[in-house]
Structure 1
Amino acid sequence: MKLSLIIPVYNEKENIDAFLSEVIEFCKSFSFPYEIIVVNDGSSDGTERILNDFKDEKVRIIHHKHNIGNGGAVKTGIRNAKGEYVIMIDGDGQHYPKDIARILEKLEEGYHLVVGARDSKSQASFFRAFGNFVYNKLASYVADFEIKDLTSGLRGARREVISKFLYMFPNGFSYPSTSTLAILKAGYSLCYVSIKTRKRKGKSKIRILKDGLKFFNIIAKITTLFSPMKIFFPVSLLLFVSAVLHFLYRYFVSGKYTLFTGILLLASIFTLLMGLISEQISTLYYKDIDTEND
């Protein structure tokens, strides 16, 4: 089978009927074998009943007994997928099904991960747009690669590649961030296609403050796993500069050397050593992935 389309759904009774019908109708234009996997993540608003009413041989419905999270639903979909390629698209109706073909086209060109990058007009609000801008810049620094949309819910990948990283995916909304950074830092290729989105019905499940902090936490974890010195070296340098400035201040003010200066200097050295050790561990991890690729 060539394509598995995965749609995670949670409490989308206002959107899922029309959206899934739209997806099914669009996919009829495909001339190759495909499947549509809808993962109901423990919905409690009647979404399950709506999904069970769909009778299409190309559609598989999987129900979680309780709510696990968007990332958990995606992982369930990928584990049950049979296609060479997997494309994930949110079930809230924001994305246009026609963009599925554009994602697939880039995957067939040889890219390991293809992400739909939303334009500025497609952002839900100014605060969401600003938050995504910050995430993108921070992730670009971590990955040494321009990240155009870290949190986009429309993305496709080679199933054999993305399956290697499922154990790293959190169950919440941070799975897009993790998949982007993990695949990039493991040496796989990434491509972006520009997309537009439409306004969804109902309220978004993402909470800016709570999930925003989770995104930063995920970026930090991925950084320490794949590029430890991106965090440890700046922290070490900051501590070293602080130690020097504190020494100069105390020397010219009182002419005395204080214990706090020494503590800052030792903290700088130990932080740098931790970064070097972590970098070696990261190299061993890369080696394991390269062995799997062979």
Structure 2
Amino acid sequence: MQDFSIVIPAKNEELGLARLLPELRAAYPEQQIIVVDDGSTDATVECCHQHQVEVISHPYSKGNGAAIKTGARAASAKYIVFMDGDGQHASEDINRLLLRLDEGYDMVVGARSVLSDQASVARWGANTFYNRLASWMVNRKIDDLTSGFRVVDRKKFLGLLYLLPNGFSYPTTSTMAFFRAGYSVGFVPINTAPRLGDSHISLLRDGVRFFLIIFKIGTLYSPLKVYFPVSLGLSGLGLLNYLLTAVASGSFRFTNMSTLLFLSGMTVFLMGLLSEQLTNLQYKDSTDDDE
């Protein structure tokens, strides 16, 4: 069996933990199990003490990603298994993820099925879009970009920790960061149970955040791959405007609109080129530290 620690971020998850922790403790009595209490106001901490697992409490809520960072720093094993505390992940799936590590993967993600019990139609549609966009970015099929159930090489994960946000988009960021750093990422299909307790994600409140994930995907992997099509589109509109104006007026002169579109396209391209160079330097530093 691989040497691994289990890290569970939790905020007001006493119902889910009451079901999950006994299963984990029975299946893995010798493994380190860490629950990071992110400012809970219910009996989350008491539930952890009852089942004799390690608990680290934040004095106030910092976010799911911040809890992941705290747990990763506290973990002592070679690999870390991240699970949600709401009871939707099954303890028996841990071994299936760990087995993929023997094939040379540095991160293995539990990919939820399309008919996942915990996914609303809106969330399923958003996740599908993210998966396809990310797959296009990395030229490899990504089955689930946002799953919180994954196993990672601890040392490599810590080397990219500074890239992770404190909010709910940590799975997206960590997946794309591993791809960008040249690490191997695999996926294992899993089924999920309905979550216990209320969800902390609001489609209205977090809609803008998840929309920004789209841009984060690009900037984390290859900014120029996102900026260049936009630049090309703006320049193409500028050329089209120039030709239509020339045909309509008979004068082959650049209008203000054509000039604006051409300059906008050039500016976007240069921004993408600069972002690409900064990204290369950022990941160069992380790989040097890893070595």
Scaled to the shorter chain, the TM-score interval is: over 0.9
Residue 74 (structure 1) aligns with: 68
Aligned length: 287
1:193 and 2:188 aligned: yes
Q: Which amino acid aligns with 1:48?
A: V
Per the TM alignment, residue 71 of structure 1 is displaced from its structure 2 partner at its CA by 0.9
Residue 154 (structure 2) aligns with: 159
User: For residues 99-156 of structure 1, what are the alpha-carbon distances to aligned partners after superposition, in whole Å with 9 as ceiling and x for unaligned?
Assistant: 1111111123321110000111215222221111011111112222211101111001
Q: Which amino acid aligns with 2:175?
A: T
Per the TM alignment, residue 76 of structure 1 is displaced from its structure 2 partner at its CA by 0.5
Measure, in 2, the Cα distance between the counterparts of 1:202 and 1:263: 52
Measure, in 2, the Cα distance between the counterparts of 1:154 and 1:181: 15
Q: Secondary structure at the match of 1:267?
A: helix
Per the TM alignment, residue 82 of structure 1 is displaced from its structure 2 partner at its CA by 0.2
Residue 22 (structure 1) aligns with: 23
Measure, in 1, the Cα distance between the counterparts of 2:206 and 2:108: 23
Residue 172 (structure 1) aligns with: 167
1:5 and 2:10 aligned: no
Residue 118 (structure 1) aligns with: 112
Per the TM alignment, residue 293 of structure 1 is displaced from its structure 2 partner at its CA by 4.2
Q: Which amino acid aligns with 1:229?
A: L
Q: Secondary structure at the match of 1:279?
A: helix
Given that 2:48 and 2:54 are in contact with CA atoms closer than 8 Å, whether structure 1 keeps it comes out as no
Residue 230 (structure 2) aligns with: 235
Per the TM alignment, residue 77 of structure 1 is displaced from its structure 2 partner at its CA by 0.3
Given that 2:159 and 2:290 are in contact with CA atoms closer than 8 Å, whether structure 1 keeps it comes out as no
Residue 242 (structure 2) aligns with: 247
Per the TM alignment, residue 254 of structure 1 is displaced from its structure 2 partner at its CA by 2.8
Given that 1:135 and 1:216 are in contact with CA atoms closer than 8 Å, whether structure 2 keeps it comes out as no
Measure, in 2, the Cα distance between the counterparts of 1:8 and 1:191: 22
Given that 2:172 and 2:217 are in contact with CA atoms closer than 8 Å, whether structure 1 keeps it comes out as no
Residue 91 (structure 1) aligns with: 85
Q: Secondary structure at the match of 2:14?
A: coil
Measure, in 2, the Cα distance between the counterparts of 1:156 and 1:81: 13
Measure, in 2, the Cα distance between the counterparts of 1:184 and 1:229: 16
Q: Which runs of 5+ in 2 are unaligned?
A: none
Structure 2 CA distance for partners of 1:75 and 1:186, relative to 1, 3 Å:
same
Q: Which amino acid aligns with 2:185?
A: L
Q: Which amino acid aligns with 1:41?
A: D
Measure, in 1, the Cα distance between the counterparts of 2:195 and 2:217: 31
Measure, in 1, the Cα distance between the counterparts of 2:175 and 2:96: 18
Given that 2:239 and 2:258 are in contact with CA atoms closer than 8 Å, whether structure 1 keeps it comes out as yes
Given that 1:136 and 1:148 are in contact with CA atoms closer than 8 Å, whether structure 2 keeps it comes out as yes
Q: Which amino acid aligns with 1:91?
A: G
**TM-score (structure 1 length as normaliser):** 0.91
Q: Which amino acid aligns with 1:122?
A: S
Measure, in 1, the Cα distance between the counterparts of 2:177 and 2:209: 16
**TM-score (structure 2 length as normaliser):** 0.92
Q: Which amino acid aligns with 1:217?
A: L
1:40 and 2:34 aligned: no
1:274 and 2:275 aligned: no
User: For residues 217-256 of structure 1, what are the alpha-carbon distances to aligned partners after superposition, in whole Å with 9 as ceiling and x for unaligned?
Assistant: 2341342243111121011111111101111222222334
Measure, in 1, the Cα distance between the counterparts of 2:43 and 2:185: 37
Measure, in 2, the Cα distance between the counterparts of 1:287 and 1:53: 45
Of the three residues 100, 121, 139, the one matched with 2:134 is 139
Measure, in 1, the Cα distance between the counterparts of 2:207 and 2:127: 9
Measure, in 1, the Cα distance between the counterparts of 2:107 and 2:163: 16
